[in-house]
Amino acid sequence: MLRSGPVALFDGTDARVDRLELPFNEYGVDPYGISKRHVKEALRVFALIYRHYFRVRCHGAHHIPARGRGMLVGNHSGGVAVDGAMVLTSTMLEMDPPRLAQGMVERFLHQFPVSSLWASRTGQFTGLPEHARRLLEDDRLLMIFPEGARGTAKLYNERYSLVDFGTGFVRLALQTRSPIIPFAFLGGGSAIPTVFNAYTLGKLLGVPYIPLTPYLLPLPLPVQLEIHYGEPLVFRGTGDEEDHVIEGHVAKVKERIAGLIEVGRAQRHQRMSPRRLLP
């Protein structure tokens, strides 16, 4: 019997999880506690959002190594973690074989029992250097946003800008001899058009801030999102270099991401501009 609709979609996403090259044991759990069942359930939801709500366009996924260690490094866009969720989904749906990218999440996420459980069971761990280094040394794929929480706090008119990058990710790349795959995420600032960040309210709720939009709640609009992956950057060194050397490498990564954003903006504008009638 032919299967169609959501059932067929779930069959497809489940099959991609089954193809992950991770050392799951007989209970479907890997050495880091990642659960195949939890990954399947999460991907079922994210795939629907990716394909049918945000209609994500992904470019350059072939730049991500099919195997071995790598660091996906990009810009934050949007007041909540829409960007991270869609980037993680892209490596599962757009790569062959699929890969599970593992994000270094903010510590507050692990303060809430439900989010803490799902984050850890799907491979998203607290952004501690020792966690990141161990994952890379085990040839995992790591996702990092060097702008941190300041990046998600961008207002609507700042949505294509970049705030200061941390430098730890470059030292980590050097120490583990990991390629950096830069990416640009576009559309998040339009999906959640933040006009004000309520820091006091956020503190009361145990999060850095609550983004407020013209319609008040930070509920994402069905805006088409885009991810542009660029060619890998490889830096040579030990990670113990002087600060000015590390900062120079960071500047190169930031410049590459800024370039991908501009290319994506130009393509996006061209597609969305109304067609002119020929004389």
Q: In the structure, what pLDDT confidence band is assigned to residue 277 with cuts at 50, 70 and 90?
A: very low
Mean pLDDT of 38-53: 97
Q: Is 273 or 201 the better-scoring residue by pLDDT? A: 201
Asked if the structure places residue 43 within a domain, the reply is no
At residue 3, the pLDDT reads: 47
Q: Which domain holds residue 74?
A: 56-271
Q: Distance between CA 184 and CA 93 in Å, rounded?
A: 18
Q: Is 115 or 210 the better-scoring residue by pLDDT? A: 210
Largest CA distance in the chain: 67
| Local structure of residue 79 (DSSP, 8 states) | S
Helix boundaries (H) for the chain: 5-18, 36-48, 82-93, 113-121, 129-137, 149-152, 168-176, 188-191, 199-205, 243-272
Asked if the structure places residue 26 within a domain, the reply is no
Token pair in block for residue 107: 């510590």
Share of the chain above pLDDT 90, in %: 74
Q: Distance between CA 172 and CA 79 in Å, rounded?
A: 27
CATH number at residue 164: 3.40.1130
Q: How many domains does the chain have?
A: 1
| Residue range 103-127, pLDDT digits in tens | 987 666 656 667 778 888 999 887 6
At residue 150, the pLDDT reads: 87
Closest among 191, 271, 264 to 223, alpha carbons compared: 191
**At 89, which amino acid appears?**
T
Mean pLDDT of 190-214: 90
- Residue 73's SS3 state is strand
Token pair in block for residue 236: 């040579």
Mean pLDDT of 219-245: 97
At residue 178, the pLDDT reads: 98
At residue 274, the pLDDT reads: 59
| Residue range 160-193, pLDDT digits in tens | 999 999 999 999 999 999 999 999 999 999 999 9
Asked if the structure places residue 161 within a domain, the reply is yes
Residue bearing tokens 């939801």: 45
Residue bearing tokens 């640009």: 184
